[in-house]
Amino acid sequence: MDTLTHTNPNGKTVQVNVGEHVTIGEHVTIGQDVTIGENVTIGDGSYIGSYSTICSYSIVSVGSYIGEYVTIGRGSTIGREVTIGDDSTIGEHATIGSYSTICSYSIVSVGSYIGEHSTVGEHANIGKNVLIGKNVTIGKNVTIGKNVTIGEHANIGKYVLIGEHATIGKNVTIGNNATVGRDATIGNNATVGEDATVGEYANIGEHANIGLDA
């Protein structure tokens, strides 16, 4: 790995640790002590915050903002105009769809996919191989187990726990502090109220309404 002198759009120069075959587009801003692995592509107009690491074979697309102390795992893809907050971690081979936001202190684990125009709140923990559709909102302090699927336009409140292998349909709303057990299925357009619990292996039909404290 070599040390490259990079000139930011404001004219300030920084030293960047860079692997082989790295492509950095025009008008890219890079902070202090950033490390960029081999075969990484950073698109035009992107921002990479200080002390962040972009691992090998990753792509940061045009206009994306990567905060400070962020790690982008090997082989990951960050779409156009994505925002990733400070101290977040994106696992290997994960994908963050264009125009999405991953708030600070969050984890998106290995192989997970976040669809376009989605938001993941602060301190969220997204497990391995999770599939989240477009236009999904995930609240802060949410924990999602591995191999979960969440459909488009779902709205997951704060402090929600979703067990592994669960399936959440399209347009589902899950209230704050709710729990969805492992291998549960919630059909399209269903609502799970605040503090409610959906048990393991439960099957909730479309348009169902699970009330408060259920």
Structural domain boundaries in the chain: 1-99, 128-214
Spatial separation of the C-alpha atoms in residues 110 and 157, rounded to whole Å: 23
Classify domain 1-99 by CATH number: 2.160.10.10
Query: CA nearest 124: which of 109, 113, 110, 135?
Result: 109
pLDDT computed for residue 213 by the predictor: 57
Fold match, 1-99 / 128-214: yes
Name the token pair of 144.
């999602």
**Which pLDDT score is estimated for 12?**
85
pLDDT of residue 15: 86
Output the pLDDT for position 76.
98
Walk along the chain (214 residues) and give the pLDDT tens digit of each residue: 788 788 888 888 888 889 999 999 999 999 999 999 999 999 999 999 999 999 999 999 999 999 999 999 999 999 999 999 999 999 999 999 999 999 999 999 999 999 999 999 999 999 999 999 999 999 999 999 999 999 999 999 999 999 999 999 999 999 999 999 999 999 999 999 999 999 999 999 999 999 865 5
pTM above 0.85, yes or no: yes
> In the CATH scheme, what architecture does the domain 128-214 have?
3 Solenoid (2.160)
With contact defined as beta carbons under 8 Å apart, do 90 and 84 qualify?
A: yes
Torsion angle of the four alpha carbons 65, 66, 67, 72, in this order, in degrees rounded to the nearest 10: 170
Write down the pLDDT at residue 1: 75
pLDDT value of residue 120: 98
Q: Which two structure tokens, joined as six digits, stand for 108?
A: 């998106």
* pLDDT, position 193: 96
What DSSP designation does 111 have? T
